[in-house]
Amino acid sequence: MTTGTTVVILILVLILVLVVSSIRVLREYERGVAFRLGRLRPLLTPGVRVLFTGFDRLIKVDLRVVTLTIPPQEVITKDNVPARVNAVVLFRVVDPVKSVMEVENHAVATSQIAQTSLRSVVGRVDLDTLLAHRDDLNRDLRATIDAQTELWGVEVRVVEIKDVEIPESMQRAMAREAEAERERRAKIINAHGELQASEELRQAADTLSRSPASLQLRYLQTLLELGADHNSTVVFPLPMDIIGPFMSALRPPADSTQDTAGPVSPADRPAPHEPSPPTTPPTAQG
């Protein structure tokens, strides 16, 4: 093999290596931001693309949704309660050129903005709002973060607060508060039940008072229920309309005032009539 043939083979191999290294393949979920000699080229779409090694530089941008976990943040709520809050952020790149030209690393920048926004939003609300109204806080967080990342071509899809850790003393205080609230509700429900029962009893008493026979039947039914227990002592009241005729029959007849009147005391007897002194006839004077 001559020297000229060897040089030709080396040149061909070099050209083949350059051609192979110049071929780039972009997947369907990727976009290519290319620079040629430092100048921005048009956005590259998925498929096979040829870039000249040494002249062109390619940056692949993933358009899929990225899950970003925010580490626990030490925050102080509006009512001065310390808490540890972490969250998760879902975002995607909607403008690949801006994500490369406007920010150095859009993922790191989005993470830092999410952490600061989480501390800011949580610090503006109290503990009850943080625990009970997470949906509103998630919407506020999403709007706050998206307003910053929109300039970078990044769209924030979802922001969710995962866990909220509070001190044990605060947990015990909240447990006592919840227990007191449940006791208050139980007492209110019991009071409403007593009120409704008393109203029903009043209506039942009015209904029975209009029919004495129904009242007597109710007495007999109650006596029957109490008589089922052989070891019980029953005190059964009798209404006056039942025993009234018997009491009238036992009274003595009112025939004379002596029978009805009691013995007369000496003080109540009339004093005896005393005789008047004798009178002398008047005499005539001469």
Instruction: Give the pLDDT confidence of 184-237 residue by residue, as tens digits.
Output: 899 999 999 888 888 888 887 777 777 777 766 776 777 677 666 666 666 656
Distance CA 125, CA 191 (A): 36
| Tokens matching residue 203 | 């209506």
Strands 47-50 and 23-26: antiparallel
Sheet hosting strand 39-40, strand order edge to edge? 39-40, 30-36, 56-62
* Burial category of 66 from C-beta neighbours within 10 Å (exposed 0-12, middle 13-18, buried 19 and up): middle
Strand-strand pairing, 66-76 and 56-62: unpaired
What distance, in Å, lies between the first and last C-alpha atoms of the chain?
A: 221
Supply the Cα-derived Rg of the chain in whole angstroms. 54
Question: Which of 12 and 257 is assigned the larger pLDDT?
Answer: 12
pLDDT tops 50 at residue 256: no
pLDDT classification of 111: cutoffs 50, 70, 90: very high
Output the six-digit token pair for 223: 């006596």
Q: Of 55-69, 93-107, 166-180, 260-274, which gets the smallest average pLDDT? A: 260-274
Q: What CATH superfamily classification does 66-166 receive?
A: Band 7 domain (3.30.479.30)
Of 65, 161, 44, the C-alpha closest to 110 is: 65
Query: What is the residue-wise DSSP string for 50-64?
Result: E--BTTEEEEEEE-S
165: tokens are 């850790």
Q: What pLDDT is attached to residue 232?
A: 61
Section 55-64 average pLDDT: 89
Question: Does residue 109 contact residue 152 with C-beta atoms inside 8 Å?
Answer: yes
**Does the pLDDT at position 278 exceed 50?**
no
What's at 216, amino acid-wise? Q
Q: What is the mean pLDDT of residues 114-123?
A: 90
Of 41, 51, 33, 28, residue with least CA distance to 96: 33
* Cα 19 from Cα 51, distance rounded (Å): 9
- Of the chain, the percentage scoring pLDDT greater than 90 comes to 21
Distance from C-alpha of 208 to C-alpha of 214, rounded to nearest angstrom: 6
- Minimum mean pLDDT among 94-98, 105-109, 162-166, 268-272: which range? 268-272
Region of 54 please: left (phi>0), alpha (psi -120 to 50) or beta: left
Distance CA 214, CA 209 (A): 8
pLDDT at 282: 45
pTM, two decimals, is 0.59
User: Which position has the higher pLDDT, 69 or 50?
Assistant: 69
Q: Check: CB of residue 152 under 8 Å from CB of residue 112.
A: no
Helix (H, G, I), strand (E, B) or coil at 255: coil
In this predicted model, what pLDDT tens digit does every residue of 124-174 receive, in sequence order?
888 888 888 888 899 999 999 999 999 999 999 999 998 888 888 877 887
Quick check: 212 and 223 in contact, CB under 8 A?
no
pLDDT at 231: 60
Rounded mean pLDDT, 105-129:
90
As to burial, measured by CB atoms within 10 angstroms (0-12 exposed, 13-18 middle, 19+ buried), residue 141 is buried
- Nearest in space to 114 (alpha carbons), one of 66, 70, 162: 70
- pLDDT tens digits for 18-47? 777 788 888 888 999 999 888 888 888 888
Residues of the chain with CATH 3.30.479.30: 66-166
Residue 273 pLDDT more than 60? no
Poorest-confidence range of 30-34, 121-125, 236-240, 275-279?
A: 275-279
Residue type for 134, please?
R
